[in-house]
Structure 1
Amino acid sequence: MKVTTLEDFYKEASLVVPEGINKELGHFNVFKLHELVAAGNKRTTMPYSRRDYYKISLISGRNRAEYADKVIDIEKNALLFATPKIPYHWLPQDDKQHGHFCIFTAEFLTQSKSGVVLDDLPIFRPGGYPIFQLSDKVAEDILHVFNKMFDEIASDYIYKYDLLRNYVLELIHYGQKLQPLTALHPTHNASARVSSLFIELLERQFPIESPHQKLSLRSAKDYADRLSVHVNHLNKVLKQNTGKTTTDIISSRVVQEAKILLKQTDWNISEIAYSLGFDEIAHFSNFFRKHTSFSPLGFRA
């Protein structure tokens, strides 16, 4: 499985890879999209892939975002939070693209006095709300934070990275304030707690990184047994909280992973089918065609 590393990012952007990029203190940097394009990095599309770093982007222009099982059309301004756990695809819909983004590792923020754990934050949880359409006023407020980042990273202030951590946290909290209240309090009752635990259990099985790796939980009953609830109860609470059945959610996530494996690996169809829990290629092919209208080979081509 191809995972975009920090080194890959710098090379694809035609930038010099910083020394000590993987040092224990973590890594941070901030960029202007139009400057990268002007420097020769012509690709504005963000490929459907995983990254081993976190990314916060403020982008203006018409775009389409594909993030996990969500497809969102952006008309003007957007704020995007990307986590290494969930792949995404960003497709510009016009040639008027500009914006700013910062990249950082989990280690970078663990140096802060708050001791923040990124994956515990609602903005980075599986099943959360990572993309927001913004008014001009909100976009201007967020741009101000990015401008402070640019000023600080260029300074010779000895504690500048402490300030930069605060600016990253400011963006994270800004995003969390934009989320629906239910996303910030996913365990406010027993029903929502079961739903939250199910999503977490589902996402723990991914990514599939080897053809010898096989999903251990495949059916609604598998998840219900692991959560110690009746399968009918699990189905009921998921329907209440997501509008989808247990099987629908599992199938959607398996299809998402199947697309990634078909496009980003050279594994044969039998290996992909096995890793996703199908004992027969025909069963996998029928499942994939049902949910995408393509055969696995047709989608790969």
Structure 2
Amino acid sequence: MNTIPNIAFQSTKDATDIEFLNLSELFSRIDDAPNHNPRLPHRLNFFALLIVTGGTGSHQVDLKKYPLMQGSVIKIAKGQVHAFLEELTYDGVLVAFTEEFVLKYFSRSSVDFITHLYNYHISEPLVDNCTFNDSFLKQIHQETTSNNTYAQKEIIAKIVELYLLRLERLSHGSQPPRHSKSHYALFIQFKNLVESRELNSRNVKDYAESMSMSAKHLNSIVRQFTLNTAKSFIDQYVILEIKRTIMSRRISLKEVAYQMGFDEVTNFTKFFKKHTGVSPRQYKASL
């Protein structure tokens, strides 16, 4: 059975959390050490921005084809499936950055505004007519080539964070929900319940009861917007909160486990490793 490959963040320049690549350089790297075909669907375990600086073409995200031209930006979230189509007939830059980069350097309020990072299921990946791409890339080039490296990573992060906020403002409200308003409202209610951690539960039934509907109906609504189950949505958010807590607070893993609603540390460890491939302790040590 064919499976969609998962592509990890890789760099040949010792970059550990963010990299800026001209598309010609990207494809040259793939040709030299191919581990997947970029023209076939593949899933990223990091975030990416495809910024088109010239020419025309198309790109596929979650099985949908998007036309590209100068000024187009494709936002690809961690976990999304995408593919380059045909021979490259456009120029551009791919900005690749990890979740750890977002959690470490972006403010929480910015992350809440930048929809595509963790709520890509309710926003379109394509933004057209972006007039500030050139200034963004110029700023990045100036900073990455500067001989003064004091606070360089922090400055780069803020440039990227500001760019993403401006990109979000450009696209905000331009594309209405793709499904019925009533189902969209219910999905947002579910999303807000999960993110508020008011129920402190990973059980779909608890959320369904709180929303006065069956678990089956809630699942069908969530699938419309995420192409996944309500359980998967809950688990992914819990993993995100665990990572945020480990990274931002100096408390023991045992305290993290209890804060996140786990009665036993062993269950917390199993849950985290199941979804990330590493234990909480290994994740903490890697930061």
TM range (shorter): 0.5 to 0.7
* 1:1-25 deviation digits (Å, cap 9, x = unpaired): 8532223xx3xxxxx2627x3xxxx
Does structure 2 retain, via aligned residues, the 8 Å contact 1:65–1:71?
yes
1:230 aligns with 2:206: no
SS in 1 for 2:41: strand
Does structure 1 retain, via aligned residues, the 8 Å contact 2:51–2:92?
yes
1:111-190 matched pairs, under 5 angstroms: 111-112=104-105, 114-115=107-108, 118=111, 121-124=114-117, 125-135=119-129, 138=130, 140-157=131-148, 158-181=150-173
Task: Work out the CA distance in 1 between the residues paired with 2:176 and 2:102.
Answer: 20
More contact order relative to length (CA 8 Å, sep ≥ 6)? 1
Task: Work out the CA distance in 2 between the residues paired with 1:94 and 1:200.
Answer: 42
Task: Work out the CA distance in 2 between the residues paired with 1:109 and 1:116.
Answer: 12
SS in 2 for 1:62: strand
Does structure 1 retain, via aligned residues, the 8 Å contact 2:116–2:125?
no
Percent identity among equivalent residues? 9
Task: Work out the CA distance in 1 between the residues paired with 2:155 and 2:102.
Answer: 11
SS in 2 for 1:64: strand
How many residues align structurally?
208
Q: How much has 1:252 moved relative to structure 2?
A: 5.0
Equivalent residue for 1:48?
A: 41
The 3 A distance-change label for structure 1 pair 113 and 251 is: closer
Aligned-pair Cα RMSD in Å: 4.3
Q: How much has 1:160 moved relative to structure 2?
A: 1.8
Q: How much has 1:74 moved relative to structure 2?
A: 0.7
Q: How much has 1:58 moved relative to structure 2?
A: 0.5
Does structure 2 retain, via aligned residues, the 8 Å contact 1:126–1:199?
no
In the superposition, the TM-score normalised over structure 1's length comes to: 0.53
Note the residue ranges of structure 2 that are not aligned, 5 or more in a row: 195-202, 233-287
Equivalent residue for 1:91?
A: 84
Task: Work out the CA distance in 2 between the residues paired with 1:51 and 1:169.
Answer: 20
Q: How much has 1:164 moved relative to structure 2?
A: 0.6
Equivalent residue for 1:79?
A: 73
* 1:38-69 deviation digits (Å, cap 9, x = unpaired): 566388835433322221220352113222xx
Task: Work out the CA distance in 2 between the residues paired with 1:171 and 1:162.
Answer: 14
Task: Work out the CA distance in 2 between the residues paired with 1:201 and 1:126.
Answer: 18
The 3 A distance-change label for structure 1 pair 57 and 227 is: farther
SS in 2 for 1:229: coil
Task: Work out the CA distance in 1 between the residues paired with 2:191 and 2:47.
Answer: 20
In the superposition, the TM-score normalised over structure 2's length comes to: 0.56
1:35 aligns with 2:25: yes
